[in-house]
Amino acid sequence: MTRRSPPRCVTMVRMASRTVICCSVVAGCAVGPNFVRPDPPAGKSLTAGVLPAQTMLADGTAQRFVSGQKVTANWWQLFACPELDAVVADSLARSPTLESARATLRMSQDTLRAGYGVFFPQASLAAGANREKYNPAPGLVQAPTTPFNLFTVSASVSYAIDIWGGQRRQLEALRAQSENQRYALAASYIMLSGNVVNAVVARAAYRAEMDATIASIDLLREQLRITRAQAAGGTVSYANVLSIQSQMASMEATLPPLAQKMDQAADLLAILSGRLPSEGTGSVIALTSLTLPVDLPLSLPSELVRQRPDVLQAEAMLHAANAGIGVATAAMLPSLTLSAGYGIAGTSSGSGPFWNVGAGLEQPLFDAGTLWYQRKAAIEARAVALGGYRQTVLSAFQQVADTLRGLQHDAETLHAETEAVDAADGALRLVQANYAAGVSNYLQVLVADAQYLLAKTGYVQAVGQRLQDTVALYLALGGGWWDAPIEKEPDRRAR
């Protein structure tokens, strides 16, 4: 029995496949420098000098720095305030910023998947139908000149051999860019959660300042009642009444600016949660409802550069720039393309097959230095990215150091403000009692009132600053994004 040979199209595809495999084995290396991840800083401390184990005891609490402790993904839950947890969860579920960052990440991932196509042969199928008429030139053999129909069906396969690894470097750059978008999403997640918590704290602090001011106004109102009675009895002059009224008016004038700041914080919370300011954000969370976290995480310098998304973004961009050198280098070298095709062409009177197989080699010869300077530009682009990476690392360490020192100073400030409030409160009570008994004059009362309000306002601001600097530490250490399901789309039914 005679063995039938395979069709020519099958034979050509086999030949092309074998050639592709051989060339792929030969092309095992990629031109350009391989990316080496920058070494983390060699230091073991995040601040200059020795960082104390804990802050000063202030307002009954001393915060401890726990070395090696990781930041949890839902760090805001450490403030032990269910209302705060609900506000943050709502913002994370509705934020347009996170929606945009997720879409950008998906776009970069799809671009990366599209880039993998360069490693596979490109096959296409074509079919055509034409109505033609042939008119031979004079002196040639006469041929039928009647119109006829021409039908063609063909398939072609081509493959660009990545001899120098330029396509692999291009794919490497796409992968780094996709990683950059992933870290950008993480940065958006951290920034959003931090802004929400800070806005809640600020709004609560403004409310506490207003409450302290209103309490001082109520005290002045009672003093005004007593002073009017004394003025009517002739024991004090009416100028005392006018002085107290003037001080009350001055205190009342501080309420509208505080109310405006509260409104601005409320509008910010609405925007962060994907709402219009007119839709509101619920009631104000009391400052006393927020519990200050006691145990604070403290990362090693070598860990910090591996968990901050801004540093990882800069590293990804450095990786992409490094791969760009290989892409530019490969463009200066010869390129090889294999191709094969098979088809059938025919008319109404008959048909026949046609095929082709070949290889194309191309080497740039003269381009007026374009490719050369493109490679030099790629090298400089890597230098730019490296400088940006180093600056990002320095800024990250500065932010952490400033926050750690800030927490220590916050405790010192709050301790002093607490003592000032206690002293001012005792002095005010004593002066009020003496004034009611006719021992103290109105000037002493006014001074005591002003001192108490000033101390109370300073205390509230110190409490708010301590809370916000605690938030800043969680953000500066990376915000725990690595444990958060930020790449997953939220349940939109909750909207």
Looking at residue 26, its pLDDT comes to 43
Residue 63 scores a pLDDT above 80: yes
Q: Count Cα neighbours of 20 within 13 Å in the Cβ-side half-sphere.
A: 19
- Kindly report, residue by residue over 150-168, the tens digit of the pLDDT: 888 889 888 888 889 899 9
Looking at residue 145, its pLDDT comes to 64
Q: Decide which of 444 and 126 is more confident.
A: 126
CB 438 within 8 A of CB 445: no
- Kindly report, residue by residue over 33-53, the tens digit of the pLDDT: 999 999 888 777 788 878 889
CB 56 within 8 A of CB 411: yes
Asked whether residue 415 is assigned to any structural domain, the reply reads yes
Looking at residue 121, its pLDDT comes to 87
Residue 291 scores a pLDDT above 80: yes
Looking at residue 142, its pLDDT comes to 56
Asked whether residue 130 is assigned to any structural domain, the reply reads no
Q: How confident is the model at residue 141 (pLDDT cuts 50, 70, 90)?
A: low
Among 7-11, 57-61, 372-376, 423-427, the minimum mean pLDDT is found in 7-11
Integer Cα distance of 156 and 133 in angstroms: 27
Strand, helix or coil for residue 175: helix
Asked whether residue 7 is assigned to any structural domain, the reply reads no
Strand, helix or coil for residue 441: coil
Asked whether residue 16 is assigned to any structural domain, the reply reads no
Domain count, the chain: 1
Mean pLDDT of 176-193: 94
Among 11-25, 58-72, 240-254, 453-467, the minimum mean pLDDT is found in 11-25
Mean pLDDT of 55-68: 91
CB 193 within 8 A of CB 273: no
Asked whether residue 257 is assigned to any structural domain, the reply reads yes
Looking at residue 233, its pLDDT comes to 83
Residue 177 scores a pLDDT above 50: yes
- Kindly report, residue by residue over 239-276, the tens digit of the pLDDT: 888 888 888 898 899 999 999 999 999 999 999 999 99
Q: How confident is the model at residue 16 (pLDDT cuts 50, 70, 90)?
A: very low
Looking at residue 405, its pLDDT comes to 94
Integer Cα distance of 476 and 46 in angstroms: 12
Looking at residue 49, its pLDDT comes to 77
Looking at residue 139, its pLDDT comes to 58
Asked whether residue 458 is assigned to any structural domain, the reply reads yes
Looking at residue 143, its pLDDT comes to 53
Residue 17 scores a pLDDT above 50: no
Asked whether residue 91 is assigned to any structural domain, the reply reads yes
Mean pLDDT of 111-139: 81
Q: How confident is the model at residue 197 (pLDDT cuts 50, 70, 90)?
A: very high
Residues in contact with 117: Cβ distance below 8 Å, sequence separation at least 6, in sequence order: none
Give the ranges where 234-286 is alpha helix by DSSP (H). 238-253, 255-272
CATH number at residue 56: 1.20.1600.10
- Please count the other Cβ atoms lying within 10 Å of the Cβ belonging to residue 29: 11
Mean pLDDT of 431-448: 78
Q: How confident is the model at residue 144 (pLDDT cuts 50, 70, 90)?
A: low
Looking at residue 15, its pLDDT comes to 46
Looking at residue 135, its pLDDT comes to 67
- Kindly report, residue by residue over 103-122, the tens digit of the pLDDT: 999 999 999 998 888 888 88
Looking at residue 494, its pLDDT comes to 41
- Kindly report, residue by residue over 335-393, the tens digit of the pLDDT: 888 888 888 888 777 778 888 888 888 888 888 889 999 999 999 999 999 999 999 99
What domain range includes position 390?
28-120+164-332+368-494
Asked whether residue 321 is assigned to any structural domain, the reply reads yes
Looking at residue 136, its pLDDT comes to 63
Q: How confident is the model at residue 490 (pLDDT cuts 50, 70, 90)?
A: low
Residue type, 245: Q
Mean pLDDT of the chain: 85
Mean pLDDT of 286-303: 91
Integer Cα distance of 63 and 246 in angstroms: 42
Integer Cα distance of 267 and 6 in angstroms: 74
Integer Cα distance of 118 and 172 in angstroms: 13
- Among the listed residues 453, 475, 82, 425, the one whose alpha carbon sits nearest the alpha carbon of residue 286: 82
Residue 493 scores a pLDDT above 60: no
